[in-house]
Amino acid sequence: MDNIQILIDAPSLALQLAIDGILIGAILALAAFGMALVWGVMNIINIAQGEFVIMGGYATLTLTGLGIPPLLTLPLAPVVMFVVGWIIYRIVIFRVVDRDLFISILATFGISILLQQLINQIYGPDIQAVQSGLTTRFFFDDALRLPEIRMLAVGIVIVFGLGLAVFLKSTRMGRAIRATSQNPRAARIMGVDTDKVYATTYALNAAICGAAGSLIVMTLVIGPFSGIVYTVRSFLIVIVAGLGNIPAVIVAAFGLGAAENYAGFILGAEFQVAFVFGLLVVIIVGRNLLLGRQRKYLK
């Protein structure tokens, strides 16, 4: 446990690990917003979430290739992905939206491997990255470090979180979305065009993922097959945070990012992924045991 000793000796490092985790968690939070939205409103667990994220990155890559400064693509990539999401809804998703949750899991899994391969065919299998042009800020004699692009990510998450909350609360479409998520049948009777609501929700999710992907291609790297990581992480966050609770999603995402970083540091990088999935199983089982106990009390 030498690694723990290092953390005790250098508290600034412990803080840095947490900050790094939170900054990565911010990007995960975006993908998780979208997943919670689609899950809550449409009762679909979107396995293609990671591919949407990656495609956002490729959108940024393509747009920078056309001469647009990378940072300007941040608002453009979501627009591109909104359209992609809409098209996918119109082709496939509307057919599975009322079905069993399990059917939609498999359908979106199919979409996910199709998209992976399509990206591979179009862009080639190379690892891609885009230089944002932003730098890293250092504090306290280099002891602490904040990359500007990641701070931007945190800012965007908060903007998206607030924006989403306002959108759902006070716009007509937002109210329609909430009504549909509560009871689609009743909403339909009251004159809500649920099909349009679903399409908007799904496209909105793709757009949010697009923003996340745009940030990832500027902070880390992407490849056609690296989406799965984001699907799994956003799923984990939603499970922990619950549906329809935007602040909880942000907290869970930051927490996951930080926990993962600590695990990688203390246990060694080879246990970083194992830790995440161990956590997933423990949380699900633990949550169930907890609920079980509550049920007993009620009796």
Interacting positions 102-131 with another protein (CB under 8 A): 102-103, 105-107, 109-118, 120-121, 124-131
Question: In b/e form, how buried is each residue of 164-181, taking b as 16+ CB within 10 angstroms?
Answer: beeebeeeeebebbbbbb
- Amino acid occupying residue 227: G
Give the CB-side neighbour count of residue 224, counting CA atoms within 13 A. Answer: 14
Q: Report the residue number, 169 or 287, with the smaller CB distance to another protein.
A: 287
Shortest spacing between CB 107 and another protein, in angstroms: 5
Q: Report the residue number, 176 or 236, with the smaller CB distance to another protein.
A: 236
From the list 72, 75, 138, 193, which residue makes contact with another protein (rule: CB under 8 A)? 138
Should residue 156 be labelled a site residue for another protein when binding is judged by CB under 8 A?
A: no
d(CA 275, CA 232): 13
Cβ contact 177:199 at 8 Å: no
Strand partners, 145: 138
Residue by residue, DSSP assigns 40-95 as HHH----TTHHHHHHHHHHHHHHHHHTT--GGGHHHHHHHHHHHHHHHHIIIIIHH
Should residue 147 be labelled a site residue for another protein when binding is judged by CB under 8 A?
A: yes
What is the total count of residues that contact another protein (CB under 8 A)? 80
Should residue 3 be labelled a site residue for another protein when binding is judged by CB under 8 A?
A: yes
Q: Is 190 helix (H, G, I), strand (E, B) or coil?
A: coil
Should residue 146 be labelled a site residue for another protein when binding is judged by CB under 8 A?
A: no
Q: State the sign of the Cα–Cα–Cα–Cα dihedral 288, 293, 298, 299.
A: positive
Q: Report the residue number, 167 or 275, with the smaller CB distance to another protein.
A: 275
Binding segment toward another protein, per CB under 8 A, in 72-80, 173-181, 204-212, 256-264: 256-264
| 3 state SS for 266-293 | HHCHHHHHHHHHHHHHHHHHHHHHHHHH
Shortest spacing between CB 262 and another protein, in angstroms: 8
Q: Report the residue number, 173 or 266, with the smaller CB distance to another protein.
A: 266
Shortest spacing between CB 173 and another protein, in angstroms: 27
Site for another protein in 163-222 (CB under 8 A): 219-221
**Interaction mask 39-78, another protein, x per CB under 8 A:** ------x---------------------------------
Q: Report the residue number, 248 or 273, with the smaller CB distance to another protein.
A: 273
From the list 60, 223, 246, 249, which residue makes contact with another protein (rule: CB under 8 A)? 223
From the list 203, 239, 240, 252, which residue makes contact with another protein (rule: CB under 8 A)? 239
d(CA 36, CA 234): 9
